[in-house]
Amino acid sequence: MTQLRVCRRSRTRFVLIRIAAVLITSAVVLVHNAHAEGDEELLTSKADIGTAGGGLVVAQRVEPKTLNPVMALDVPSREVIWRLMADLIHINRQSQQTESALAKAWTISSDGRRYTLALRRGIHFSDGHPFDADDVVFSFQVYMDEKVGSPQRDLLFPGGKPIVVRKIDAYTVEFQLAQPYGPAERLFDTIAILPRHILEKSYQQGSFPETWQLNSRPEQIVGLGPFRLKEYVPGARAVLERNPYYWKVDRAGKKLPYLERITFLFVGTDDAQVMRFEAGETDTINRISPENYLALTKTQNGKYQLYDLGPGLEYNFLFFNLNDIGQKFPQISGKQVWFRDLKFRRAISYAIDREAIVRLVYRGRGTPLWQPVTPGNRLWLNSAVPKPQRNLDRARDLLRSSGFSWAQDGTLVAPNGERVAFSIIVAAGNASRVSMATIIQEDLRELGMRIDIVPSDFRAMLDRVTNTFEYESALMGIASGDVDLNSDTNVWLSTGSTHLWHLHELRPATPWEAEIDRLMQAQSISTQFKDRKQLFDRVQELIADNLPIICLASPNILVGAKVNLGNFRAAILEPYTLWNADELFWR
Amino acid sequence: MLIAIHAVVLLGEFIAPYNYAVQNREYSFVGPTRIHLIDRVGHLHLRPFIYGLRYRSPDDVEEGEQMYPIRFLASGAEYKLAGLLPTKTHLFGVDQPAKIFLLGTDQYGRDQLSRLLRGGQISLLAGLLAAALSIGIGLLFGVIAGYYGRFSDEVVMRLAEVFMVLPWLYLLLAVKGFLPLNLGPTRSFLLVIVVIGFVGWARPARLIRGVVLSAKERNYVIAARGFGASDLYILRRHILPQTAAVVLTQATLLVTTYSLSEMTLSFLGLGISEPVPSWGNMLSSLQQYHVLTSYWWMFAPAFPAILVFWGYYTVANSIQERTQ
């Protein structure tokens, strides 16, 4: 679904795992209700009390690429890994706020640059080895090491300078930042705390990126998450068992998790996932397409419940190749004259029937978009951005005022006499994006443009978009990893690695790109929510106004689970369903 | 029957009530329109009629109250009959704003019947042209190899073997990779035909070579050569007529094979590109589970395809029987 996230590591690294920001005033102290059992400082879950036992079966489309949390980029890997791992401060996927995890409390200095975290005492890794500040220091060292090449590394360099991590005592760690960081403690979410006693050797030998692969021995993979790996059968399944050393308890003081096992089955396709769920072979399902959601509703037999969580964070968009390609592809650079013409892009935006996209592609379970923030992101959405309805007359006026005209047979003719025709490249594997392209093709035909749709293998498409620049326009989607818009910095900064329409800009190519750069930098060091919101509002306006990407629509997050699964609370933040796997139980 | 199907397909745009590309965005995946003779209050109408559709939500479109009689030789979108005569007359239609979808609609609300007929033109034409191309090449090489023998025989036959082992699917992928992105529907159609036809010449060439080889040893050929007839004369007068049976049988078989190849390619998204329909890319929506389970009318292109293939095989059979 989030096509962009199935990425490869290359020079232009796609860091789409985003960490984010929140409403933090200058200094906050949070002390969570710590439950002491012996000398263990455990966290008490607020969820309903359940009964222990049973297992959960989930079907996943493809198998993980790695089990190494530092190296994992793709959704399938992270889906499994994050049941095994834990972070210091965690973003609650439902409330979208940060909450205590391995750090029981933290303080932020008044200048916003120093974070002091107090760790839980007396807790253990899944192999029984005790956890302390050395593991934290080691983990950050690994994440920030250039030789390791973690895709999350950039996030730990706010303002381009590394975070200095210092151990104060066995259970206190201090993080010193070179400049204040807007998203504040959201930084710590999804940074896995690694077992130093297991991994230090391979790290020092330089073989860290190759450790914890799919063929590693299960008992070697040790973490602080609610489950631990029991068995991995390549291509077939991963079986996770309950971690008896987990650091959360329920309100009755009983150790979590409730479930004995989680089994991930790798079934190959979305449709296979749906069929397994329909047959009752799997217990929860993530990312159901709107069509399959409909099919499931029809066959619903009271055994499972489907949830429409409303718009998620994914935005789909059309963009033109605005890269400086010189004379490499004369045919494309000829058309770039139109693509660079703002009136041309606006005319296209006016001509696209977004309502039809929502209706035909998402069967009504989606939202039309005019900006890269969806209504699902209530905190950051700039609702003042205009949402003009489809207006072909307006589109024609814009084209006419830019020197375009129409031939006898109705085809659009560019100022240079050429007939307007261009191609849209789209990932062939993503049926909904191919459908969007087909709708746009018909919409733009009404303006007299000839559009060729080029369904292409995802990797081939990414290669054209990020390396060779041999494309005219492309239809893609991005799913932000967090509600905080700082997570999309790579897309908006003119130097960003995901600044898709114009990569490797030496200096901002347009005044508005320069303004976005300034705004993004300003928000990243501001710690006031109000200020940051204002800055982001302006970014959204600039994008909607200048249309480097023409936003189209956002699908609702559709999930399902068996009715007797307790504490099932799906959220629009990834991983949607299993984020509270430690609290799930069978009624 | 084969002729009937071809005639229907050839006159497709006349029979089709709508243009194949027009999207009715409120009527996505609407089932076949029901034709009524008796209205809701029980009155009998001599002229068949339909009820107009009412849109409620993407998955809730139902018959409304308004009745629309079916009009024959109705006026509609302009087109060229059989590619020649510009006209607006369609076999049947209903008054605006009602729509008649005898085979339902696809995801974009396009009339399946209109697409089916247009798709038939594409798929069958692709089969015929590709067959003609590969028979043409096959005949040329087969005759050269069979008649001149020795060195040219060796070269041509080894080349044929190379072509026989070529994985055409990957070849097409590779060819597509090299071509510019904005390949219009016409050019991508021609590309498909050329690739299929060009890769497939080896088998007919081998068969023709065999026939030529045996024909040139006949006494009358040797006699003609003794009288000083030129190669061209002998080929034209004595040898090519011998190959007619093989060529005809092969051609009929190849049409089906190549139509099917085109359908396979389009089914996989490598052939004819949207919005132009072919039986293959129309069926490709069945790859999606929800279409497969919920919208049975999307299977429609499979049935004429089966009939056409069966028809061609019957013809091939009878040609073979007659010539033996």
**Nearest alpha-carbon partner for B133 in B50, B88, B191:** B191
Confidence of residue B83 (pLDDT cuts 50, 70, 90): low
Residue A34 has pLDDT above 60, yes or no: no
When comparing pLDDT for A4 and A569, which is higher? A569
> What Å distances lie between residue A32 and A103, A118, A499, CA to CA?
10, 11, 40
Interface check for A268 against chain B (CB to CB < 8 A): the answer is: no
B86 at interface of A, judged by CB pairs closer than 8 A: no
Per-residue pLDDT, averaged over A471-495, amounts to 87
Neighbours of B254 (CB within 10 A): 28
Q: Which of A275, A441, A472 sits opposite B289 (nearest CB)?
A: A275
At residue B291, the pLDDT reads: 84
| A270, two tokens | 């979305």
In angstroms, the separation between the Cα of residue B283 and the nearest Cα of chain A is 14
Q: What is the mean pLDDT of residues B269-294?
A: 83
Query: Do residues A19 and A574 lie in contact, with contact meaning Cβ atoms separated by under 8 Å?
Result: no
pLDDT of B52 = 84
Chain B hits for A453, CB-CB cut-off 8 Å, are 273-274
Query: For residue A13, how far is the Cα from the chain centroid?
Result: 15
- Cβ atoms of A443 and A353 within 8 Å: the answer is yes
CA distance B275 to chain A (A): 7
B148 contact partners, CB below 8 Å, separation of at least 6:
none
- With 0-12 / 13-18 / 19 or more C-beta atoms within 10 angstroms meaning exposed / middle / buried, residue B227 is exposed
Q: Does residue B117 carry a pLDDT above 80?
A: yes
pLDDT at A144: 93
Residue A115: helix, strand or coil by DSSP?
strand
Cα(A290)–Cα(B313) distance, rounded to whole angstroms? 42
Higher pLDDT, A176 or B6: A176
Q: Which residue of A has its CA nearest to B288?
A: A271
Q: Are strands A55-60 and A261-266 parallel, antiparallel or unpaired?
A: parallel
pLDDT for A24 equals 33
Residue pLDDT, tens place only, A310-352: 999 999 999 999 999 888 888 899 999 999 999 999 999 999 9
Range of weakest confidence among A147-156, B83-92, B297-306: B83-92
Higher pLDDT, A55 or A37: A55
Measure the CA–CA gap between A144 and B250, rounded to whole angstroms. 67
Q: A5-30: per-residue pLDDT in tens?
A: 333 333 333 333 333 333 333 333 34
Chain B contacts of A359, Cβ < 8 Å?
25-26, 28, 58
**How far, in Å, CA of A406 to CA of A576, rounded?**
49
Q: Is the pLDDT of residue B164 over 50?
A: yes
Tokens of B49: 């009629």
Type of residue numbered A384: A
**B147 φ/ψ angles, rounded to the nearest 5 degrees:** -80, -45
* pLDDT at residue B62 is higher than 90: no
**Best mutation target, A289, A359, A473, to test chain B (most B CBs within 10 A):** A359
Helix (H, G, I), strand (E, B) or coil at A158: helix
Those residues whose C-beta lies under 8 Å from the C-beta of residue B132, and which sit 6 or more positions away, are B197, B251
Q: How far is A303 from chain B (nearest CA, A)?
A: 20
Cα A274 to Cα A239, A282, A288, A557, A564: the distances in Å are 20, 9, 7, 15, 19
What SS3 state is found at B24? coil
Per-residue model confidence as pLDDT tens digits over A191-201: 999 999 999 99
Whether A37 has a pLDDT exceeding 50, the answer reads: no
State yes or no: pLDDT of B111 exceeds 60.
yes
- State the Cα–Cα distance between residues B149 and A151, nearest whole angstrom: 65
Q: How many CB atoms lie within 10 A of CB B51?
A: 19
Long-range contacts of B43-49 (CB under 8 A, 24+ apart): B45/B69
Q: What is the pLDDT of residues A221-267, one digit of tens each?
A: 999 999 999 999 998 999 999 999 999 999 999 999 999 999 999 99
User: pLDDT digits over A521-579, tens only?
Assistant: 898 888 888 999 999 999 999 999 999 999 999 999 999 999 999 999 999 988 899 99
What angle separates helix A270-278 from helix A290-299, to the nearest 10 degrees? 20
Bridging pattern class, strands A421-427 and A405-406 = unpaired
Put simply, whether A306 touches B (Cβ < 8 Å) is no
- What is the distance between the alpha carbons of residues B188 and B209, in angstroms, rounded to a whole number? 32
Q: What is the pLDDT of residue A82?
A: 95
Beta-ladder partners of A559: A307
Give yes or no for a contact between A406 and A418, defined as CB atoms under 8 angstroms apart.
no
pLDDT above 70: percentage of residues in chain A: 94
* Range in A105-114, A153-162, A306-315, A390-399 the model is least confident about: A153-162
Q: Residue B276: pLDDT above 90? A: no
How many Å lie between the alpha carbon of B41 and the closest alpha carbon of chain A?
Answer: 32
Radius of gyration of chain A (CA): 25
Among partner residues A363, A441, A454, which is closest to B58 by beta-carbon distance?
A363
Residue from the list B107, B181, B291 with its beta carbon closest to the beta carbon of A454 = B181
pLDDT of residue A8: 33
Report pLDDT for A38: 54
Q: Using an 8 Å Cβ cutoff, are A86 and A193 in contact?
A: yes
Instruction: Provide the H-helix boundaries in A421-457.
Output: 431-445
Q: Evaluate the CA torsion angle B68, B70, B74, B79 in order and state its sign.
A: positive
Strand partners of residue B74: B90
B54, B61 Cβ separation under 8 angstroms: yes
Q: Is A294 on the interface with B (CB under 8 A)?
A: yes
Q: Which residues contact A569 (CB under 8 A, 6 or more apart)?
A: A94, A580
> For residues A136 and A193, is the Cβ–Cβ distance under 8 A?
yes
Confidence (pLDDT) at B82 = 66
Comparing CB atoms, the residue among A291, A359, A455 nearest residue B288 is A291
- The answer to which of A271-285, B33-47, B70-84 has the lowest mean pLDDT is B70-84
Decide if pLDDT at A204 tops 80: yes
Those residues whose C-beta lies under 8 Å from the C-beta of residue A523, and which sit 6 or more positions away, are A182, A485, A486, A531, A532, A535, A536
Q: Which residues contact A221 (CB under 8 A, 6 or more apart)?
A: A67, A84, A212, A228, A229
Using the Cβ of B23 and the Cβ atoms of chain A, whether some distance falls under 8 Å is answered with yes
Q: Do B108 and A364 touch (CB under 8 A)?
A: no
How close A437 comes to chain B (CA, Å)?
Answer: 10
Looking at CA atoms only, how far is residue A295 from chain B in angstroms?
6
Query: B23–A442: do the CB atoms touch at under 8 Å?
Result: yes
Question: pLDDT band for position B182 (50/70/90)?
Answer: low
Mean pLDDT of B290-296: 84
Whole-number pLDDT of residue A558: 95
> CA angle A414-A420-A426, nearest 5°?
140
Report the Cα A402 to chain-centroid distance in Å: 38
pLDDT band at B177 (very low <50, low <70, confident <90, very high): low
Q: How far apart are CA A270 and CA A460, in angstroms?
A: 21
**pLDDT value at residue B224:** 85
Q: Which residues pair with A232 in a beta bridge?
A: A238
Q: Cα–Cα distances in Å, from A330 out to A325, A505, B223? A: 9, 20, 63
* Nearest C-alpha neighbor of A31 from the set A133, A99, A125: A99
What's the rounded Cα separation, in Å, for the pair B145 and B158? 11
Residue to substitute from A438, A440, A468, interface B, most B β-carbons within 10 A = A438
Amino acid A582: pLDDT: 94
Q: A289: helix, coil or strand?
A: coil
Hey, which residues does A554 pair with through a beta bridge? A367
Residue B32 and residue A59: Cα distance in Å, rounded?
A: 36
> Any chain A CB within 8 A of the CB of B57?
yes
pLDDT band, very low/low/confident/very high, at B156 (cuts 50, 70, 90): confident
Are the beta carbons of B182 and A291 separated by less than 8 Å? no
Angle ∠(A84,A90,A91) on CA atoms, nearest 5: 120
Q: What is the reported pLDDT for A577?
A: 92
Identify the pLDDT of residue B180.
Answer: 65
The answer to which of A55-64, A167-176, A235-244, B170-179 has the lowest mean pLDDT is B170-179
Collapsed DSSP state (helix, strand, coil) of residue A519: helix
Q: How far does the CA of residue A293 sit from the closest CA of chain B (Å)?
A: 9
Q: Count CB neighbours of A333 within 10 A.
A: 17
Within 10 Å of residue A330's Cβ, how many Cβ atoms?
Answer: 10
For chains A and B, count residue pairs whose Cβ atoms are closer than 8 Å: 83
Task: Give the separation between CA B250 and CA B205, rounded to whole angstroms.
Answer: 10
Structure tokens at B179: 């071509």
Asked if A186 and A20 count as a contact pair (C-beta separation under 8 A), the reply is: yes
- Look up residue A402 and give its two tokens: 């830019």
Residues 6+ apart with CB under 8 A from B214: none
Among the partner-chain residues B25, B181, B294, the one whose CB lies closest to the CB of A471 is B181
First to last CA, chain A: 32
Contacts of B189 in chain A (CB under 8 A): none
Q: Which residue has the higher pLDDT, B293 or A105?
A: A105
Q: Tell me how far apart the alpha carbons of residues B243 and B240 are, in angstroms, rounded to a whole number.
A: 5
**Per-residue model confidence (pLDDT) at position B267:** 86
Model confidence over A407-466: pLDDT tens digits? 998 999 999 999 999 999 998 878 889 999 999 999 999 999 999 888 887 888 888 998
- Listed in sequence order, the residues at least 6 apart from A522 whose beta carbon sits closer than 8 Å to its beta carbon are A535
Percent of chain B at pLDDT above 70? 97
Question: Which of A294, A428, A438 is closest, CB to CB, to B275?
Answer: A438
B109: nearest CA partner in chain A: A360
Q: Which among A294, A452, A460 has the least Cβ separation from residue B273? A: A452
Strands (DSSP E) contained in A407-490 are 412-413, 421-427, 450-456, 473-479
Which residue, A316, A290, A309, A311, is CA-closest to A478? A316
Separation of alpha carbons A470 and A451, rounded Å:
16
Q: Nearest C-alpha of chain A: how many angstroms from B252? A: 33
* Residue B53 predicted with pLDDT over 90: no
Contacts of B249 (CB under 8 A, 6+ apart): B316, B319, B320, B323
